[in-house]
Amino acid sequence: GENVEQHPSTLSVQEGDSAVIKCTYSDSASNYFPWYKQELGKRPQLIIDIRSNVGEKKDQRIAVTLNKTAKHFSLHITETQPEDSAVYFCAASTSGTYKYIFGTGTRLKVLA
Amino acid sequence: GAVVSQHPSWVICKSGTSVKIECRSLDFQATTMFWYRQFPKQSLMLMATSNEGSKATYEQGVEKDKFLINHASLTLSTLTVTSAHPEDSSFYICSASGTSGSGDTQYFGPGTRLTVL
């Protein structure tokens, strides 16, 4: 069935360094890839998304890249800050179903 | 924009009772709503998808007679956990997509923490 793998499961970086989280999806029909940030006990918040007709998208310190051929997409956070500490989830969706398949999550810890 | 509310935020109930959770889209019309369950330190697991006015589509392994979903209007969906047992204790989160932003984007509610004693 459809599957999204996410790595790493935990990631610790020093404040100011960059963090990269990678996801791989299995369904070649997937065409929408959102990233969510979830703080403990709170709702997932959309931080950035990308569609299959675009290879890269950037929003200030956050960027997402997509390699359709390899079915890979990655989240890049630059100049990390302690408030970036949270769990990050990637997801893949297919237009028409609007159903998300979530990755397993990455717990990011930014050390001050 | 794109605000989704959920009520209650937490509930404690006795084993065997039923619990209803409401999910509302406050500033847009939610043509599709999703219900997820999230256990501690785990990812969000989709339970079911509901379109306004239609029966919900349940994911494999989710008992439709135990988790009753109603999506009677474009702003409200409800999840009823019937005859709840301790193993149903979890964080239940709804999301909605529709007329806000792109149709693909799901906006999440704040979640309901259910504890069954």
- Choose, out of B7, B24, B31, B43, the residue to mutate when testing the contact with A (most A CBs < 10 Å): B43
More confident residue, B14 or A99: B14
Q: Is A27 left (phi over 0), alpha (psi -120 to 50) or beta?
A: beta
Residues with pLDDT less than 50, chain A? none
pLDDT at position B2: 84
pLDDT at position B51: 87
The answer to whether residue B107 neighbours chain A at the CB level (below 8 Å) is yes
- Is B94 a residue whose pLDDT tops 90? yes
Smallest CA–CA distance, residue B98 to chain A, in Å, is 10
- Is B43 a residue whose pLDDT tops 80? yes
The DSSP annotation for B12-81 comes to: EE-TT--EEEEEEESSS-EEEEEEEEE-TTS--EEEEEEETTS--EEPTT--TTTEEEEEEETTEEEEEE
- Is B8 a residue whose pLDDT tops 80? yes
pLDDT at position B98: 81
Contact: A93, B108; criterion CB under 8 Å? no
- Is B100 a residue whose pLDDT tops 70? no
Tell me how far the alpha carbon of residue B14 is from its chain's centroid: 20
Cα gap B78→B70, rounded to integer Å:
5
The answer to whether residue A46 neighbours chain B at the CB level (below 8 Å) is yes
More confident residue, B99 or B67: B67
